[in-house]
Structure 1
């Protein structure tokens, strides 16, 4: 990293981006971490990193000093109904976060911008590329969160120009330590919900036993993102999937968790079972091809014995 400036990470108090901040910090990168709030545990984990708490557009308007790149992860993922918002207001708030950050990045002289998108842009019945959803699969989802992510990809692409490289990175199913519910993200991943149910009730209810999902172990993913943004390609794809992580069926995931939480019983939800999208994969060469994904059983061995409360 040069002395020209820092990498700004928005949404840095959240599950994914706090780990990205740590991955950058381990690379001796100067990081500015911004979020509406940082809980006490996250502040402890980010000790040594410059953390700024508050309204994102206001913070950006006050200036943050030189910035070389931006990772924009700030987003409202909870539904409009959960937050008491209209659908239009939900979309507007997400777009305001993005457009304010894009404008700041260019005005601050940043040379790279990474928009954190989601596999949520897809519907389960979109056309797969083989047995996976890749960058070649056209997205059609229209929920407010999905629409905001897809619109964000388009806006990020349109903001690119000479000396300002942009990319959007779609993330799939992610699991790891320190996952918690927040006001703007009011659900846990399926693996965390299964672990929590096994511990609380001694039961795991599997509603979609035949569904096969990719699972990215968060420390691996964060290292990949840190590598990607530290050398953001100027001629790379505008939208990229975060690699091809290992996969497991929901039933096999429940079995693996039950093996690690003694006394757990597995129950199958009554059919018909909901359709789940195919696993994520990437057909585009990138640094994510070199990510040594931790296999799911090994990751669970790390996660469950640590006593992490999902």
Structure 2
């Protein structure tokens, strides 16, 4: 098996690369920029074979040449611009071009070169921001994408359905929720960092933080998110085209911050009331919204996650200490 991963220099892409290489796979990492130096160093110690390629995912011919030249059998497409409203005011064409044009080009190249499995990284954003708090979002819950990023993820699933029907490409989409964990860093492609990343940056800098509410969700640890997508990539067969990849671990950013405060004495967290001089942690909106389901995937393949709150906290704090707090600018969140 030879695997091509797009968006490889991004947060999720690095987690996917690390797991595949640790398991001895041959991986072609495609991105718009080289991998971070730390990742290159860490990955060089792993048993798998890594080939890097800097190219534009919107260009089908270079992707075809990579697939053919590296004898790629499986493709995991994670490349996307995770845009906010401000970016969509000024770069809407680029967001749509990369997110949909890139998907179509990579999928078409995969189909033309006989790729055996194509996995698309989709998102819970397709359900929109108006879902009631803690309602279970199964795969068929009504869609209401609230921005271009969300719309491109939903339309991306539709595009793959048509490409698959026309070409026979075996595709599957895995929808992720709020992913956090090792390798998160500012790439210029993701506009709003995960609240855990924001909180960690404030704790490392010894600055007070403020939450408008605790912020409950089934936040998805990046190790588990990558593992679920890799499961979809390798599965001999799949009963469905789309899987929600939520986990059963529901906890709040307030819970995370309490653990940070116990570890970093100069850090404090306030929830509600007057923020004063504290820095607000962005919780992606004015309410928590729905909880992404996990039942379909779990019934067919097993758990979507192994890291509960405490296990994820311990792992990430140890990882950050070992890697010089990778991803954080001095004093930044």
Name the counterpart of 2:112.
Answer: 107
Name the counterpart of 1:15.
Answer: 11
Name the counterpart of 1:275.
Answer: 287
Distance 1:146 1:291 in 2: 22
Q: Is the partner of 2:137 in helix, strand or coil?
A: coil
**1:224 maps onto 2:228 in alignment:** yes
Q: What does residue range 113-124 of structure 1 map to in structure 2 within 5 Å?
A: 113-124=118-129
Q: Is the partner of 1:240 in helix, strand or coil?
A: strand
Q: CA deviation at 1:61?
A: 4.9
Q: CA deviation at 1:90?
A: 2.3
Of 150, 157, 162, the residue aligned with 1:158 is 162
Q: CA deviation at 1:292?
A: 4.9
**5+ residue gaps, structure 1:** none
Q: Is the partner of 2:114 in helix, strand or coil?
A: coil
Q: What does residue range 188-207 of structure 1 map to in structure 2 within 5 Å?
A: 188-207=193-212
Distance 1:265 1:69 in 2: 46
**5+ residue gaps, structure 2:** 275-284, 329-333
- With normalisation by structure 2, the TM-score equals 0.82
Distance 1:102 1:232 in 2: 19
- Report the CA distance shift for 1:28/1:304 in structure 2 as closer, same or farther (over 3 A): closer
Post-superposition Cα deviations, 1:243-266, rounded to whole Å, max 9, x if no partner, equal: 424110232222122222223221
**1:44 maps onto 2:41 in alignment:** yes
Name the counterpart of 2:149.
Answer: 145
Q: What does residue range 65-104 of structure 1 map to in structure 2 within 5 Å?
A: 65=68, 66-79=71-84, 81-82=86-87, 85-104=90-109
Name the counterpart of 1:264.
Answer: 267
Q: Is the partner of 1:56 in helix, strand or coil?
A: coil
CA contact (8 A) 2:103 2:156 kept: yes
CA contact (8 A) 1:113 1:165 kept: yes
Q: Which moved more, 1:38-47 or 1:92-101?
A: 38-47
Q: Which moved more, 1:85-94 or 1:72-81?
A: 85-94
Q: CA deviation at 1:18?
A: 1.5
Q: What does residue range 202-217 of structure 1 map to in structure 2 within 5 Å?
A: 202-209=207-214, 211-217=215-221
Distance 1:232 1:188 in 2: 34
CA contact (8 A) 1:216 1:245 kept: no
Aligned pairs, how many?
302
Q: CA deviation at 1:25?
A: 2.1
Of 173, 181, 184, the residue aligned with 1:176 is 181
- Report the CA distance shift for 1:98/1:80 in structure 2 as closer, same or farther (over 3 A): farther
Distance 1:218 1:177 in 2: 7
Alpha-carbon RMSD: 2.4
Post-superposition Cα deviations, 1:136-173, rounded to whole Å, max 9, x if no partner, equal: 31120231101111100111122224753111111111
- Report the CA distance shift for 1:43/1:53 in structure 2 as closer, same or farther (over 3 A): farther
CA contact (8 A) 1:206 1:267 kept: yes
Q: CA deviation at 1:109?
A: 0.6
Of 287, 302, 310, the residue aligned with 2:315 is 302
Q: Is the partner of 1:102 in helix, strand or coil?
A: helix
Q: CA deviation at 1:280?
A: 1.5
Distance 1:143 1:98 in 2: 18
CA contact (8 A) 1:159 1:166 kept: no
**1:136 maps onto 2:140 in alignment:** yes
